[in-house]
Structure 1
Amino acid sequence: MARRDFDPDTVTPDGRPPALARLFDPAGGAAWRGFVNGDALRGPVTILTYGNDTPGEGPRLHVHPYDETFVVIEGRARFFVGETEVDAVAGDVVLGPAGVPHRFINLGPGRMQTIDVHHSPRWIQTDLE
């Protein structure tokens, strides 16, 4: 299905060149983690990745002054966003709204892996636990 959501003639490129940054080392250890600030790519979002092989394990409770979008790319996760619990599986996308404390854990069995999009050119976080 072809898409034509806008007229390309109405957009003027801003002159930024393509950019490349390393998010993670695929040969790295068991917990595949990494981040690239949007500033490094001259872009508006920061990308993180988090993964683990241990059910019940995950990042501590924290909060950001901007939205965070989580993409579950492997396994099963339980997200705690404010007072709400959301169970998600590979292929699901979860929103953590700005100012709402959140965390997530691996539900198992096996590996849980996420790509996390911080809607900010820099990673800004306050840990609450």
Structure 2
Amino acid sequence: MARQDFDPANTPPDGRPASKSRLFDPDKDGPWKGSVPGLDLGSAVTVLAYGTDEVGIGPRLHVHPYDETFVIVQGRARFFVGDAVLEASAGEVVLGPRGVPHRFENLGPGRLQTIDIHHSPEWIQTDLE
């Protein structure tokens, strides 16, 4: 069934051109790492690629003034989001709500690879550890 969620006639283009930027080098060995600020794309979101081959390793506890959405591309992770502890694996998505401290770690075995969407045109973060 075709989707028709809105009337395109009521949402005219805002004049921004299409744009692109490199998030990571796919030809480089090892986990993907990189970031693209939304400001570089004329977008309201910033995108990060995070990966590690080390079990038990991940970003330190931190917080943002906006939501962060994590897409698990490969592997398994344990997320600590406020008082919640969530395990997620490839194909799953986790939300870190704005203002809630969070971190995650690779559960293994093997590589953990995520794409992290910061709901902000800039990456703004306060590390708590």
Using the size of structure 1 for normalisation, the TM-score is 0.96
Q: 1:45 corresponds to which residue? A: 45
Give the secondary-structure state (helix, strand or coil) at the position aligned to 2:117.
Answer: strand
Give the secondary-structure state (helix, strand or coil) at the position aligned to 1:80.
Answer: strand
Q: Identity of paired residues, percent?
A: 67
Give the secondary-structure state (helix, strand or coil) at the position aligned to 1:35.
Answer: strand
Deviation at 1:26, TM superposition (A): 1.4
Q: Which runs of 4+ in 1 moved over 6 A?
A: none
Equivalent pair of 2:31/2:111 in contact (CA under 8 Å):
no
Q: How many residues end up aligned between the 2 structures?
A: 129
Q: Indicate yes or no: 2:36 matched with 1:36.
A: yes
Deviation at 1:86, TM superposition (A): 0.4
Give the secondary-structure state (helix, strand or coil) at the position aligned to 1:9.
Answer: helix
Deviation at 1:83, TM superposition (A): 1.2
Deviation at 1:125, TM superposition (A): 0.5
Deviation at 1:36, TM superposition (A): 0.3
Deviation at 1:31, TM superposition (A): 3.6
> Which sections of structure 2, spanning at least 5 residues, go unmatched?
none
CA distance in 1, matches of 2:39, 2:29: 26
Output one character per residue of 1:59-82: Cα deviation in whole Å (capped at 9) or x when no partner.
111111110000001111100001
Give the secondary-structure state (helix, strand or coil) at the position aligned to 1:70.
Answer: strand
Give the secondary-structure state (helix, strand or coil) at the position aligned to 2:57.
Answer: coil
Q: 1:119 corresponds to which residue? A: 119
Give the secondary-structure state (helix, strand or coil) at the position aligned to 2:9.
Answer: helix
* Counterparts of residues 50-65 of structure 1 (less than 5 Å): 50-65=50-65
* Counterparts of residues 25-104 of structure 1 (less than 5 Å): 25-104=25-104
CA distance in 2, matches of 1:116, 1:109: 21
Which amino acid is 1:96 matched to? G
CA distance in 1, matches of 2:31, 2:89: 18
Output one character per residue of 1:39-76: Cα deviation in whole Å (capped at 9) or x when no partner.
00001000001011111111111111110000001111
> Which sections of structure 1, spanning at least 5 residues, go unmatched?
none
Give the secondary-structure state (helix, strand or coil) at the position aligned to 1:65.
Answer: coil
CA distance in 1, matches of 2:7, 2:65: 33
